[in-house]
Amino acid sequence: MQCDGYAFSGNVIAGALCNGRFAGGGQELGKGAKLTDGQMQICFLKDFPKSAVAKVLKEIADYNQTGHCAGEYLVSFKSTELIAVTSQAVATNLDGEPQQLHAGRFSVEPASLKLSLPSYARH
């Protein structure tokens, strides 16, 4: 996986690429994401041993409190693009559309949609 200034090679348990704070059902996955900044909030959980469960839970709690995490297992940052390549197909959900991907390039096109948003969604 490669992004602006970040590279990772290893197993990922789960991840989210968000250009807005909320996903379906009102889940706040992209705590630092803004619809207007031209960047994605990327957050992913690296594979971890059973002995690290307490540390992972603390990193998740920290992310839920602050919207930021650069932990040993949970990582969150902003980027304009993400390129990912896997050795086996990965189940993904792209805006409600299930996909099986071996590789993907994800990016944000700044100011490409004109939206009318309620004030609480503009942060």
* Residue 97 bears catalytic tag: yes
Q: Is 102 helix (H, G, I), strand (E, B) or coil?
A: strand
Greatest CA separation found in the chain? 47
Listed in sequence order, the residues at least 6 apart from 101 whose beta carbon sits closer than 8 Å to its beta carbon are 84, 86, 89, 90, 92
Given 28, 81, 97, 109, which residue is catalytic?
97
Place of tokens 């992913």: 44
Please identify every residue annotated as catalytic: 97
